[in-house]
A = this chain, B = another copy of it.
Amino acid sequence: MVKINDNFLKLPGGYLFPEISRRVKAFSAENPPKPLIRLGIGDVTQPLCPAVIDAMHKATDEMSNKETFRGYMDDSSGYEFLRNTISEHDYKARSVNIGPDEIFVSDGAKSDCGNIGDIFSVDNVVAVCDPVYPVYVDTNAMAGRAGTVGADGIWSNLIYLPCTEANGFFPALPKKVPDIIYICSPNNPTGATATKEQLKVWVDYANAHGAIILFDSAYESFITDSSLPHSIYEVPGAETCAIEFRSFSKTAGFTGTRCAYTVIPSALVRGGVQLKSLWIRRQNTKYNGAPYVIQRAAEAVYSPEGQKQTKATIAYYLNNAKVILDGFSKAGITAYGGVNAPYIWAKTPGGIPSWGFFDLLLKKACVVTTPGAGFGPAGEGYIRVTAFGDAEATKDAVKRIIEVL
């Protein structure tokens, strides 16, 4: 008799966004008084930029011709044209020495953040920030690293690193030493962005203990403060303790186009083994790489036109963030983030629970947000609002919220 992976059964309820989707669908069925404005799930709304579209058309035409057709890649890690471009633009241009052989292209940071667990033993102790992107927790729970979950949503074997108003939403070192540490900056959901000095504390700590930092910088393109690091490898010593995840989803609107990459430096060795060699083996055995046309689309993000066009869209979203922050300020709501990040982390008024405030905004303002409690116990008392909406719709949403409050 086949045995299922019982760890799956420990996962409480649905994944956060399907649960939101369920509530929104149920409310929509009740004929809401106004059209819904969605500032919940972190999905982009602006189309792919012309440079990317042109590259996709060109690559599609190549696939129609026997001479230029592309089948399997030699290995699943991505075409050299893309890995070289990423190395030059995202690293060497910032004086970070990450080569193309340390860059591994994929279909998404979510896939990579989940699949990276394959190369680590189930016995490692994992630390996550609280609040946290649910994927870090759920994937470890599935693998058996999280233990069991209590009614309070706390997993028995995880180390939680509270990120609160008091510590500026950046975690302090824990008492118990973890083996694997997830850090996301600019942060999802709080919008807080770590300084080099803040990251240095964790890099030194990880190196001292042989731990690994899994650094998610999917939102680095939203950083406006030039003193803040875009990559953890801007911090000396990170190359011997950190794996970095990047994505084109938010940088260039690829949420439905799917391309990302993971960086594992050659110097990152544990148990006498280069971790990148394990990842290459994992990917070559369980993955066949991102589509050729999509990798050409990603390459086009780095062209002069692509850079200009994608940066204009990011400025558009950051202006939404400003509109939201200003609106919350007028409504007397304390809010964080939104300056170097596309997320605004807003305190619920009068200590309303976050799912309650979510329901209130949904039903009274017809605005969809994300309840902070969905990101972990310390997310209670907050909602996450995203800047990825349409500019006019965002302005309307803010007006409605001010009216309701």
Interface string of A51-72 (1 = CB under 8 A from B): 0010011001101111001111
Shortest CB–CB separation between residue A98 and chain B, in angstroms? Answer: 21
State whether A111 touches B288 (Cβ < 8 A): yes
State whether A287 touches B111 (Cβ < 8 A): yes
Q: How many residues of A contact B (CB 8 A)?
A: 84
Residues of B near A294 (CB, < 8 A) are 291, 293-294
Copies in the complex: 2
Output the nearest chain B residue to A1 by Cβ-Cβ distance.
B210
Q: A4-B119, A72-B43, A135-B285 are in contact. Are A293 and B257 (CB under 8 A)?
A: yes
Interface string of A306-331 (1 = CB under 8 A from B): 00000000000000000000000000
State whether A69 touches B46 (Cβ < 8 A): yes
State whether B69 touches A5 (Cβ < 8 A): no
| CB of A334 closer than 8 Å to a CB of B | no
State whether A47 touches B65 (Cβ < 8 A): yes
Residues of B near A108 (CB, < 8 A) are 287-288
Shortest CB–CB separation between residue A373 and chain B, in angstroms? Answer: 18
Return the contact of A256 from the options B5, B6, B72 (Cβ within 8 A). Answer: B72
Return the contact of A47 from the options B1, B11, B69, B253 (Cβ within 8 A). Answer: B69
Return the contact of A64 from the options B44, B47, B180, B258 (Cβ within 8 A). Answer: B47
| CB of A121 closer than 8 Å to a CB of B | yes
Q: A4-B270, A47-B63 are in contact. Are A115 and B286 (CB under 8 A)?
A: yes
Please report the C-alpha to C-alpha distance between residue A63 and residue B289 in the assembled complex, in whole angstroms: 22
Q: A213-248: which have CB < 8 Å to B? A: none
Residues of B near A123 (CB, < 8 A) are 3
Interface string of A151-192 (1 = CB under 8 A from B): 000000000000000000000000000011000000000000
Residues of B near A212 (CB, < 8 A) are 2
State whether B288 touches A258 (Cβ < 8 A): yes
Please report the C-alpha to C-alpha distance between residue A74 and residue B5 in the assembled complex, in whole angstroms: 25
Interface-located stretch among A87-95, A271-279, A343-351: A271-279
Q: A107-130: which have CB < 8 Å to B? A: 107-108, 110-111, 114-115, 118-124
Output the nearest chain B residue to A277 by Cβ-Cβ distance.
B8
State whether B2 touches A270 (Cβ < 8 A): yes
Q: A8-B278, A111-B287, A286-B139 are in contact. Are A21 and B292 (CB under 8 A)?
A: no
Output the nearest chain B residue to A294 by Cβ-Cβ distance.
B291
| CB of A15 closer than 8 Å to a CB of B | yes
Shortest CB–CB separation between residue A73 and chain B, in angstroms? Answer: 7
Residues of B near A73 (CB, < 8 A) are 256
Shortest CB–CB separation between residue A218 and chain B, in angstroms? Answer: 12
Residues of B near A28 (CB, < 8 A) are none
**The 7 residue pairs across chains A and B that have the minimum distance between CB atoms:** A114-B286, A1-B210, A3-B121, A70-B256, A71-B255, A43-B71, A2-B179
What are 11 residue pairs bridging A and B, where the CB atoms are less than 8 Å apart in the complex?
A: A2-B180, A3-B179, A4-B119, A5-B121, A15-B284, A41-B72, A47-B63, A48-B64, A114-B287, A257-B291, A294-B294
Known: A2-B211, A15-B284; 7 extra A-B contacts, CB below 8 A, are: A4-B278, A5-B121, A8-B278, A21-B74, A115-B286, A135-B286, A256-B292
Residues of chain A touching chain B, judged by Cβ–Cβ distance below 8 Å, are 1-6, 8-9, 11, 15, 18, 21, 41, 43-48, 50, 53, 56-57, 60-61, 63-66, 69-75, 107-108, 110-111, 114-115, 118-124, 134-135, 138-139, 142, 179-180, 209-212, 253, 255-258, 270-271, 273, 275, 278, 281-282, 284-294, 390
